[in-house]
Structure 1
């Protein structure tokens, strides 16, 4: 058995894709999402393949809730080896229009949620003497601030900072901390982003999405499976000597 992995935001999109790939790699899964329906459906799908899968409903912006699901994962599945802090939300709009309420919500999920996941996983690893792996969701917007995505970009830059700092702090425990930085992924989140661009700029629905996809060197939009394949590497033994990195996996859109 490869081990036990916990994935947040696992009820759909990239999170569900990551869960499926890690299950195929031999991991048993703890799946976390804000609402129960999607995450339970993914868990049942994984169980049908012979993997153990536990579904939890939690808000990652709630520190106690994140620590609670990590404890429940260890209790129900017998351990935790990999923490994937995938849950996130988007915000489209000019910098001039971002409200305090919007900024608080965005940071509470995208930044606080990652930090609580890092803390909870690391505490569990250290307590049990596990040389675990923490994998965080950043973005191409964590390497470049995009117009109309300024606040979202700020949260993803923050994830990179926490990834680097945590990697340095936990290295003596044998814990690695890395991040993945997707580009334009064909998920519900990008449907929402495209619609918001249409509302704000007058662009036709689908136009913004196609514009971004048109800039991808490999000539197509990204799939959750593309992202999951790289997360599989970060979760597996081949990345044991890698830590503190936030790697672009975007088909050739942003170059660093």
Structure 2
């Protein structure tokens, strides 16, 4: 079966990353998947991708580490022959509800290293590979509603997701002449383990009530958006962080 190209999705073991990997497989991409370590969830994801008739592989790496990201990109190309779509999805949220006095330097560095540095390294090495290939590509990052509007007691997370927007704009300018588009998705309230683990139930209920659609999104909502951003039909969209939040915040 012919392939539409090769995609790499970081943070793919669960939630949004998992949904994106499966959707790109449905779209005809061979899909390499990443997480911090090899897990049963990641192995099962590869099986599901293969059951869809696509080639898949696991590339465990810490996206905050320069050498590991570089080696991951090289391994994907060695395994699949190219890299056409990079989805820098890996990210973490901090403990909920911390006032500034309670935010430690260690927690700040942990979140910024994974969310911001990890996105930078993914953009960098994927972009360099796509430039080398000489046929364009798609680079896609994970911002957030918190990257559009400061979150309540979300100091480091908010800063990291604003950083993704800036990185996306800068990368779009640098890589644009090579036919590479760079965009990000900015989800609102999505039913994922990370969201439910970081927001108290009362806060979730309040935010749901404030959302015009009165509901949370699901990971496949984000995957549907990524499907379009990764497609050839999105060729004139770059440098954007696209809100997908049920109307909770409007740009």
SS in 2 for 1:191: helix
Structure 2, gaps ≥5 residues long: none
Q: 2:58 matched to which residue of 1? A: 55
Mapping 1:45-84, distance limit 5 Å: 45-84=48-87
Q: 1:241 matched to which residue of 2? A: 236
SS in 2 for 1:133: strand
Counterpart CA distance in 1 for 2:4 and 2:101 is 47
Q: 2:111 matched to which residue of 1? A: 106
Q: 1:31 matched to which residue of 2? A: 33
Moved over 3 A (4+): none
Q: 1:88 matched to which residue of 2? A: 91
Given that 1:190 and 1:209 are in contact with CA atoms closer than 8 Å, whether structure 2 keeps it comes out as: no
Q: 1:203 matched to which residue of 2? A: none
Per-residue deviation at 1:26?
A: 0.6
Per-residue deviation at 1:150?
A: 2.1
Q: 2:208 matched to which residue of 1? A: 213
Alignment root-mean-square deviation, CA = 1.0
Mapping 1:42-191, distance limit 5 Å: 42-91=45-94, 92=96, 93-191=98-196
Given that 1:95 and 1:151 are in contact with CA atoms closer than 8 Å, whether structure 2 keeps it comes out as: no
Q: Give the length in aligned residue pairs.
A: 246
Q: Deviations over 1:186-236 (max 9, x none)?
A: 110012112xx4xxxxxxxx2211211222212211100000000111100
Counterpart CA distance in 2 for 1:186 and 1:2 is 29
Per-residue deviation at 1:174?
A: 1.2
Report the TM-score, using the length of structure 2 for normalisation.
0.96
SS in 2 for 1:57: coil
